[in-house]
Amino acid sequence: MMFDLSGRVALVTGASRGIGRAIAKRLAGQGATVVAAARGDHAAGTAAELAADGGRAEAVSLDVTDEVAMQRLPGDIVERHGRLDIVISNAGITRDQLLMRMKREDWDLVIATNLTATFSLAQAAMRPMLKQRGGRIIAVSSVVGQAGNAGQTNYAASKAGLIGFAKALAREVASRGITVNVIAPGMIDTEMTRAATEKAQIDWASQIPLGRLGTADDVAAAACFLASDEAAYITGHVLAVNGGIYM
């Protein structure tokens, strides 16, 4: 089986819905034990779905802006499961506004959730991965971090920051067999985009060379590949899953 993740332990943040849930499901389907993390008890449904499909999964409550919880979680996972092989930093939020009107707290919260949380998680995950002499760290960025988007200076800065962070960290840990990569989704069909008007969705699709919005499964397939042995020689890379809207 290609992308066989049997025996691997994976942590996915923002796993309650959308892209995070799809990634958790794909990793479990390839044999990984998945720790699905989200605020409150929101990841419980994901873990239950994975278990119902025959996968090995558990849900954990996690606020990614809680520095103490983020630093502690990787060690807790190793205590329960013996190792930590794959970290998918997917949790993210938007607080859109033109810069002239943007509140400082909306800037700070987006940076804390989308960028600083990845720093905290990666730093804590380094300890077991360095001991194992192997691991996969994957950050979910966005086409907005590559191309920019009016009204999203905070979001674009956070997602662009993930790209620079991953490239730098990839150089630090490559000698220990740890790869660090980024997925940059484009316009993906999620609850948020489905809430838009039909005309808006048609307008978005018309801008995409492949003629459709992406699916969460499109992004999950990319994550599964980067987490696998088949991607062992890929690090510091930004994998665009965007239908060609940005090249």
User: pLDDT by residue (tens digit) across 30-47?
Assistant: 999 999 999 999 999 999
Residues known to be catalytic: 155
Tokens of 212: 């459709």
SS3 66: coil
Residues 58-62 have a mean pLDDT of: 97
- Going by C-alpha positions, the residue among 115, 187, 107 that lies closest to residue 144 is 187
Residue-level pLDDT at 143: 95
HEC profile for 69-100? Answer: HHHHHHHHHHHHHCCCCEEEECCCCCCCCCHH
Residue-level pLDDT at 198: 74
> If you average pLDDT over every residue of the chain, what do you get?
95
Residues 146-173 have a mean pLDDT of: 97
At residue 191 the predicted structure's pLDDT band, cuts being 50, 70 and 90, is: confident
- Going by C-alpha positions, the residue among 88, 73, 80, 69 that lies closest to residue 10 is 88
Residue-level pLDDT at 193: 72
- Going by C-alpha positions, the residue among 216, 183, 193 that lies closest to residue 25 is 216
* % of the chain surpassing 70 pLDDT: 98
Residue-level pLDDT at 37: 98
- Give percent helix, percent strand, percent coil of the chain, each to the nearest 5: 50, 15, 35
Residue-level pLDDT at 2: 79
* % of the chain surpassing 90 pLDDT: 92
Residues 6-18 have a mean pLDDT of: 97
At residue 1 the predicted structure's pLDDT band, cuts being 50, 70 and 90, is: low
Residue-level pLDDT at 142: 96
pLDDT one-digit tens code per residue, 192-225: 677 667 777 778 788 999 999 999 999 999 999 9
Rg (C-alpha) for the chain, rounded Å, is 17
96 φ, ψ (degrees, to nearest 5): -75, 140
Which of the following CATH numbers is that of domain 9-241: 3.40.190.10, 3.40.50.410, 3.10.20.30, 3.40.50.720?
3.40.50.720
Residue-level pLDDT at 24: 98
| Residues 103 and 25: beta-carbon distance below 8 Å | no
Q: Is the dihedral of CA 243, 197, 215, 180 positive or negative?
A: positive
d(CA 151, CA 161): 17
Q: For the whole model, what pTM was predicted?
A: 0.96
pLDDT one-digit tens code per residue, 74-109: 999 999 999 999 999 999 999 999 999 999 999 999
SS3 207: coil
237 or 205, higher pLDDT:
237
